[in-house]
């Protein structure tokens, strides 16, 4: 009988749903959130309390809950960026407790769950800070500087007509893998947010690498790296000190080796090509 009871207890402990229902594992969270009316106004950190937060909620769902309360109280909800909510669009920019996308490695904010926090925690949420990412409202920043870098060279030129047979272009397995890994970048800007220099090197180097490694990207490789670096500099991103903060915070684990590759691409474009 005793063993059976013990067994039941163990089973109920193993089943988190049951355990939580029985003793309500919901949390009370204190928030300090950056509020700013528009690009020109001065912002400030504002205190909020969110109660009955389920540990299974995503961080953004917790914000939805807070916003619903604010709307019910006829207050202005907190503006924040989000779209896919599954870690692929790169929109959910939030600097949480001093780290982009919060305390966990290799996830976006939408993939961060409240179980990563404790009941009673105070969480500070700020927007990405960079002069190249001006704040539009609250936690939303304007990342169109990334778009302009892509327009400057993050593409290949293709003639119209029939697509050629894919097997006509032999690509080494290693190059294909490395290119694919670089292509995983979702343009979220966490690298810029984490870097003490607000440098965009990891993002730009991922885009440069992705194309430079493939035969389709080779014809324009010199022009591409020169144009993209020039655009990156003119947008006001800082230079790279190789601290490695970007790689550590990147939700897609883009490697620093891409930055070295971009340095090589840049040097070879400057030294070997005749492009001004």
Partner 1 sequence: MNWILKMFQSSLGQKLLMALTGLFLISFLLVHCGINALIFFNDGGEMFNKGAEFMGTNFLIRAVEIFLFAGIILHAVQGFSLTFKNQKARPIKYAVNNGNANSKWYSRSMGLLGTLLLMFLIIHLRHFWVVSRFTDEITSGKETLFNEMKEVFENPWVVFIYVLAMISLAYHLLHGFQSSFQTLGLNHKRYTPIIRVLGICFSIVIPTIFALMPIAIHFDFIK
**Which residues of this protein are in contact with ligand HEM, per CB under 6 A?**
239, 241-242
Choose, by CB under 6 A, the member of 181, 188, 228, 240 that binds ligand SF4: 188
Q: Which does 202 bind (CB under 5 to 8 A by kind): ligand SF4, ligand HEM, partner 1, none?
A: ligand SF4
| Cβ distance to ligand HEM smaller for residue 151 or 241 | 241
98 near partner 1, judged by CB under 8 A: yes
Nearer to ligand HEM, 151 or 242 (CB): 242
Q: How far is the CB of 113 from ligand FES (least distance, A)?
A: 13
**Closest approach of ligand FES to the CB of residue 47, in Å:** 25
- CB closer to partner 1 out of 90 and 127: 127
> Which region among 5-13, 64-72, 122-130, 162-170 touches partner 1 (by CB under 8 A)?
122-130
Cβ(93)–Cβ(128) below 8 Å: yes
Contact 92, 60 (CB under 8 A): yes
Q: Is 252 in the site for ligand SF4 (CB under 6 A)?
A: yes
Single out the residue of 45, 71, 84, 169 in contact with partner 1 (rule: CB under 8 A).
45
What count of residues does the chain have?
Answer: 276
Question: Other C-beta atoms within 10 Å of 221: how many?
Answer: 20
Which is closer to partner 1, CB of 29 or CB of 245? 245
Contacting residue, 33, 114, 185, 225, with ligand SF4 by CB under 6 A: 185
| Residue in 26, 97, 216, 223 binding partner 1, rule: CB under 8 A | 97
Cβ 206 to ligand SF4, closest distance in Å?
5
82 binds, among ligand HEM, ligand SF4, ligand FES, none (CB under 5 to 8 A by kind): ligand FES
Radius of gyration of the chain (CA): 23
For 162, 169, 238, the CA distances from 165, given in Å and listed in that order, are: 9, 8, 42
DSSP secondary structure of the chain: -HHHHHHHHHHHHH-HHHHHHHH---EEEEEEEEE-SSTTS--EEEEEEEEEE-TTSBHHHHHHHHHHHHHHTT-PPPP---SSSSSSS-----EETTEET-SSTT--GGG-BGGGS-TT-EEEEE----TTS-EEETTEE--HHHHHHHHHHSS----SSPPPPGGGS---HHHHHHHHHHHT-----HHHHHSTT-B-HHHHHHHHHHHHTSGGGGGGHHHHHHHHHHHHHHTT-B------HHHHH-TT---THHHHHHHHHHHHHHHH----
Under the rule (CB under 6 A), what is the footprint of ligand FES? 82-85, 87-92, 108-110
Binding track over 193-232 against ligand SF4, x by CB under 6 A: ---------xx--x--------------------------
Task: Write out the binding residues for partner 1, residues 165-224 only, by CB under 8 A.
Answer: 194, 196-199
Binding footprint of ligand SF4 on the chain (CB under 6 A): 90, 185-191, 202-203, 206, 250-252, 254
């Amino acid at each position: 009988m005793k063993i059976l009871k013990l067994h039941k207890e163990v089973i109920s402990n193993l089943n988190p749903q049951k355990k939580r229902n029985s003793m309500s594992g919901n949390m009370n969270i204190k928030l300090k959130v950056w509020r700013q009316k528009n690009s020109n106004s001065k912002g400030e950190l504002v205190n909020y309390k969110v109660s009955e937060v389920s540990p299974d909620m995503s961080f953004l769902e917790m914000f939805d809950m807070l916003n619903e309360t604010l709307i019910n109280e006829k207050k202005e909800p907190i503006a924040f960026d989000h779209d896919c909510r599954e870690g692929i669009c790169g929109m959910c920019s939030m600097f949480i407790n001093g780290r982009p996308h919060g305390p966990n490695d290799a996830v976006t904010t939408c993939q961060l769950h409240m179980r990563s926090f404790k009941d009673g925690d105070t969480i500070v949420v700020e927007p990405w800070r960079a002069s190249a990412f001006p704040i539009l409202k609250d936690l939303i920043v304007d990342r169109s500087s990334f778009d302009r870098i892509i327009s400057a060279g993050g593409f290949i030129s293709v003639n119209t007509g029939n697509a050629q047979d894919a097997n006509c272009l032999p690509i080494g397995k290693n190059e294909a893998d490395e290119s694919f890994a670089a292509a995983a970048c979702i343009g979220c800007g966490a690298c810029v947010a984490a870097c003490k220099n607000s440098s965009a090197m990891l993002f730009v180097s991922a885009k440069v690498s992705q194309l430079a490694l493939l035969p389709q990207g080779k014809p324009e490789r010199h022009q591409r790296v020169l144009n993209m670096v020039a655009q990156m500099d003119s947008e006001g991103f800082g230079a790279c000190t190789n601290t490695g903060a970007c790689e550590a915070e990147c939700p897609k684990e883009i490697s620093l080796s891409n930055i070295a590759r971009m340095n090589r691409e840049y040097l070879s474009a400057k030294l070997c090509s005749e492009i001004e």
